[in-house]
């Protein structure tokens, strides 16, 4: 089963290490070092996989280096062309290549050979499913476990890229990797210069359905929370987006996991990041929280969720920002959560809350939902006692001063509900809600006007 939720791979593995410095550290003659540096700087000719395999099998150290470097560069160029639909990995791949590369990764005579062989595997991994299968069946997980036990940071990073791609390619591969590779040990290998790559790989190991057991991926959960608290610089934002995306899959609406996010200040942080990081991924986390308990939903509302959605859906804000993707995502989220009974209860309870700002945001969101929702959407809200909640707010205004625009908005919503036909006109004589409205007397012109419109429209 393919992991359709996988994150996009690193299109180009950053060369954060210096080849020439590594060659200088190799225990080989100076003459050989000079020859290898020359090969690195001049080997730009393309080479076929068959010719590369022949050169590697010759066991000539210079020819092996040259063939590996040329093949890696050739594949990198072709990989770029893949996005122009001109590259088919299967056409240049041979079954003989993978076992040979695995042997070089383990027993190559220089560290450069091991790195080049690993990079070539990383280019093939996560592409064509047949090639991924060959890589997996040749023992990549066992090889990875061996590599990750050593102190070769560059090699460990490249192995992680391979595992991340394979985990993203298949749920079965993901689960096999998680069963064999201890995430705590992997995280211990993570160096700051390779942090973004590790976060991407860990994210691919944690997403997809069905979700992995949480106890297995909990170490990654902690890393993602740490990354989200970083400063959203241009360098950090992609890594933060990967972490946010993964957390959205890992939460699964579980109250215990949601509590962890709340306790670590992640919810407040995500509200702050809504317009800087991946908006859709952040909304996914919020949707998960609405599967939690009433207290957790209430916490999200108090953090400003409603205000953010309100601002995005406001026509003036939408016109100013021009971000239709955000508007669409916010609208989709709004109607998803409106089908969630726990959310509706918390939202409607906010109407009688002491927090005036929260009440105002709740009224705006309800007004949007009633105006743009289907009859079924409105029916579900009425079924969950929306009308009683608004009337409760109006009754509260008899003993406590509430902003007149809140009362006006409540009346507007009720008028819209009645126009949708959710309360039939034939029931008006016996309906307690109409009886309450007979007694409404606005405290100022706006409220009085809307109360009058209500009475006139429904001939009370």
Rounded distance between C-alpha atoms, residue 114 and residue 345, angstroms? 59
Rounded distance between C-alpha atoms, residue 51 and residue 7, angstroms? 34
For the whole prediction, is pTM greater than 0.85?
no
How confident is the model at residue 285, as a pLDDT? 93
Q: Decide if pLDDT at 360 tops 50.
A: yes
Query: Using CB atoms within 10 A of its CB, is residue 10 exposed (0-12), middle (13-18) or buried (19+)?
Result: middle
Q: How far is CA 43 from CA 30, 258, 414, in A?
A: 20, 52, 75
Q: Among 119, 123, 143, which Cα is nearest to 132's? A: 123
pLDDT tens-digit profile of 424-436?
Answer: 444 555 544 454 4
How confident is the model at residue 275, as a pLDDT? 85
pLDDT tens-digit profile of 384-397?
Answer: 888 889 988 988 88
- Both structure tokens of 438: 């007979």
What average pLDDT does this structure show over 409-436? 63
How confident is the model at residue 83, as a pLDDT? 41
Rounded distance between C-alpha atoms, residue 224 and residue 349, angstroms? 33
Rounded distance between C-alpha atoms, residue 388 and residue 395, angstroms? 10
Residue 141: CB atoms within 10 A of its CB come to: 17
Rounded distance between C-alpha atoms, residue 315 and residue 117, angstroms? 55
Rounded distance between C-alpha atoms, residue 284 and residue 333, angstroms? 8
SS percent in the chain: helix, strand, coil, step 5: 75, 0, 25
Rounded distance between C-alpha atoms, residue 351 and residue 365, angstroms? 11
Q: Decide if pLDDT at 154 tops 80.
A: yes
Q: Among 53, 56, 141, which Cα is nearest to 93's? A: 53
Q: Decide if pLDDT at 416 tops 70.
A: yes
What average pLDDT does this structure show over 6-28? 62
Higher-pLDDT residue of 452, 105:
105
How confident is the model at residue 374, as a pLDDT? 78
Rounded distance between C-alpha atoms, residue 442 and residue 448, angstroms? 4
The dihedral region occupied by 281, where left means phi > 0, alpha psi between -120 and 50, and beta the remainder, is alpha
pLDDT tens-digit profile of 245-263?
Answer: 999 999 987 899 999 999 9
Q: Among 26, 41, 30, 33, which Cα is nearest to 62's? A: 33
How confident is the model at residue 204, as a pLDDT? 95
- Both structure tokens of 3: 């992991």
Residue with tokens 């000719």: 45
Rounded distance between C-alpha atoms, residue 341 and residue 324, angstroms? 28
What average pLDDT does this structure show over 66-95? 67
Q: Decide if pLDDT at 228 tops 90.
A: yes
Q: Decide if pLDDT at 422 tops 60.
A: no
How confident is the model at residue 128, as a pLDDT? 65
How confident is the model at residue 433, as a pLDDT? 46
CB 180 within 8 A of CB 219: no
State the pLDDT confidence band at 447, using cuts at 50, 70 and 90.
low
Q: Decide if pLDDT at 299 tops 70.
A: yes
Most confident segment among 91-95, 268-272, 289-293, 378-382: 268-272
How confident is the model at residue 432, as a pLDDT? 45
Rounded distance between C-alpha atoms, residue 447 and residue 434, angstroms? 17
How much is the mean pLDDT over the chain?
A: 81
**Among 180-194, 236-250, 267-281, 438-452, whose mean pLDDT is lowest?**
438-452
How confident is the model at residue 307, as a pLDDT? 85
How confident is the model at residue 391, as a pLDDT? 82
**Among 93-107, 236-250, 329-343, 363-377, whose mean pLDDT is lowest?**
329-343
Q: Decide if pLDDT at 102 tops 90.
A: yes
Rounded distance between C-alpha atoms, residue 237 and residue 278, angstroms? 9
What average pLDDT does this structure show over 337-350? 84
Q: Decide if pLDDT at 266 tops 50.
A: yes
What average pLDDT does this structure show over 131-144? 91
How confident is the model at residue 13, as a pLDDT? 46
Q: Decide if pLDDT at 153 tops 50.
A: yes
Q: Decide if pLDDT at 172 tops 90.
A: yes
């Amino acid at each position: 089963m393919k992991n359709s939720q996988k994150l996009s791979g690193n299109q180009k593995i950053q060369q954060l290490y210096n080849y020439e410095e590594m060659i200088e550290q190799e225990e080989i003659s100076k003459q050989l070092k000079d020859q290898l540096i020359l090969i690195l700087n001049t080997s730009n000719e393309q080479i076929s996989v068959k010719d590369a395999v022949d050169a590697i099998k010759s066991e000539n150290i210079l020819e092996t280096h040259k063939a590996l470097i040329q093949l890696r560069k050739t594949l990198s160029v072709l990989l770029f062309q893949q996005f122009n639909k001109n590259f088919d990995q299967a056409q240049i791949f041979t079954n003989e290549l993978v076992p040979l590369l695995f042997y070089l990764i383990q027993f190559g005579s220089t560290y450069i050979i091991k790195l080049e062989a690993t990079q070539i595997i990383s280019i093939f991994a996560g592409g064509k499913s047949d090639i991924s299968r060959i890589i997996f069946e040749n023992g990549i997980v066992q090889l990875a476990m061996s590599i990750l036990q050593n102190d070769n940071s560059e090699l460990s990073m490249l192995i992680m890229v391979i595992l991340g791609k394979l985990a993203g390619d298949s749920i079965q591969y993901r689960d096999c990797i998680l069963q064999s590779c201890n995430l705590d040990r992997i995280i211990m290998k993570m160096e700051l210069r390779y942090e973004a790559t590790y976060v991407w790989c860990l994210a691919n190991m944690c997403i997809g359905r069905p979700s992995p057991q949480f106890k297995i991926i909990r170490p990654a959960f902690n890393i993602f929370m740490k990354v989200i608290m970083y400063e959203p610089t241009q360098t950090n934002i992609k890594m933060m987006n990967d972490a946010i995306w993964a957390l959205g899959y890992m939460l699964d609406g579980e109250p215990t996991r949601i509590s962890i996010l709340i306790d670590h200040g992640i919810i407040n942080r995500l509200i702050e990041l809504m317009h800087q990081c991946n908006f859709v991924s952040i909304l996914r986390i919020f949707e998960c929280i609405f599967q939690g308990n009433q207290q957790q939903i209430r916490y999200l509302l108090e953090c400003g969720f409603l205000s953010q959605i309100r601002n995005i859906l406001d026509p003036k804000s939408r016109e100013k920002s021009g971000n239709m993707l955000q508007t669409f995502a916010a609208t989709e989220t709004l109607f998803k959560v409106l089908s969630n009974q726990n959310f509706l209860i918390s939202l409607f309870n906010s109407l009688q809350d002491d927090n005036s700002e929260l009440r105002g945001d709740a009224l705006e969101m309800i007004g949007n939902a009633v105006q743009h929702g289907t009859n079924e959407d409105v029916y579900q809200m009425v079924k969950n006692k929306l009308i009683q909640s608004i009337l409760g707010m109006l009754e509260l205004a008899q003993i406590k001063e509430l902003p007149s625009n809140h009362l006006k908005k409540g009346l507007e919503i009720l008028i819209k509900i009645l126009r949708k036909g959710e309360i039939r006109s034939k029931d008006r004589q016996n309906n307690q809600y109409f009886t309450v409205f007979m007694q409404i007397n606005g405290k100022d012109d706006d409220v009085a006007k809307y109360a009058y419109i209500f009475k006139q429209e429904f001939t009370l």
